[in-house]
Structure 1
């Protein structure tokens, strides 16, 4: 498939900070979307904490639950980006809730019994001024894979401050080269895989 084939991405930003306050997780998510745009992918950002996403493992928890509207945007996308900060070495509680709500997709299947998200690609972005990015990436990818998403090669980008540091990613004067190159590789691999799956879905 060529890059003329239209692809869409949705970035779910799992910061604990509501808009309009700055967010390092949103900055990195937007950098991922910018890198995907280089491969003809259009994208949008949802800061999950701005919406009343109820706890649970169903696609609709009722009573004003905001997840069904977010899910509609997810189902229209080919690539999912999950971006989370690191808190005490773990993904944010918002990111955990996103995984829990995505668990509802296991009961939403096509005629072959596959989850409706099968064929969609998922990638991750993690920021923090403490250690934990590799563990968070592993947990996110395992969960997303279990739910039915396809994980590309080298599809996790991250930034950690130096040990015992206190900087935020958004406070850096420029993006470190290692992060920029990792994000670029993530985007290239995600777009490539998404196009392959769109042309030749799982049978």
Structure 2
């Protein structure tokens, strides 16, 4: 997916939330010293496309993905100069990996959260790789399912980019009062 977006001329910035100190909370302001969220928030405001990636943990999104959604939720109460919530005119998608069933559930959970805060989710704006129930190899250690995951990732990229371009040409206005 990242490779396809770059091929299509999109500047892609990858952040690994698991490597950052993102404090819990529902604000874009720092929650404590060392909270990395304000920097992530600034980068989100500069972006047109947001992709949240998560493993499947116990059939649901990871706690790190959930924490990112909680912090992104603060953008609902932030508005731009035209009165649009902070996530408006941003396109979002989901990437899921895991060694258990539940990828579609994780996609549903994350996209529902992103839609709730105003992101636009194009059709088929997701891809996943799932080894199936029980322990098993990771994506990088296995060969099974890579072609399908990469193909859906390319479709995901095309769908997100098409909608992002449409929104850039004709942005959504603020919600009615």
Structure 2 length as normaliser, TM-score?
0.91
- Once the 2 structures are TM-superposed, how far is the Cα of residue 180 of structure 1 from its aligned partner? 1.5
Q: Which residue of 2 aligns with 1:114?
A: 84
Gaps of 5+ in 2: none
Contact 1:130–1:162 (CA<8 Å) still a contact in 2?
yes
Match of 2:12, SS?
strand
Q: Which runs of 4+ in 1 moved over 6 A?
A: none
Gaps of 5+ in 1: 1-31
Q: Structure 1 residues 32-41 or 123-132, which shifts more?
A: 32-41
| Counterpart pick for 1:179 among 125, 136, 149 | 149
What are the Cα deviations for residues 157-191 of structure 1, in whole angstroms up to 9, with x where unaligned?
00110333511111124762211211111000111
Q: Which residue of 2 aligns with 1:51?
A: 20
Matched, 1:162 2:125: no
Contact 2:129–2:145 (CA<8 Å) still a contact in 1?
no
Correspondence 1:113-132 to 2 at 5 A: 113-132=83-102
Correspondence 1:34-113 to 2 at 5 A: 34-60=3-29, 61-113=31-83
What are the Cα deviations for residues 125-157 of structure 1, in whole angstroms up to 9, with x where unaligned?
000000110000001000000111110110010
Structure number with higher strand proportion: 1
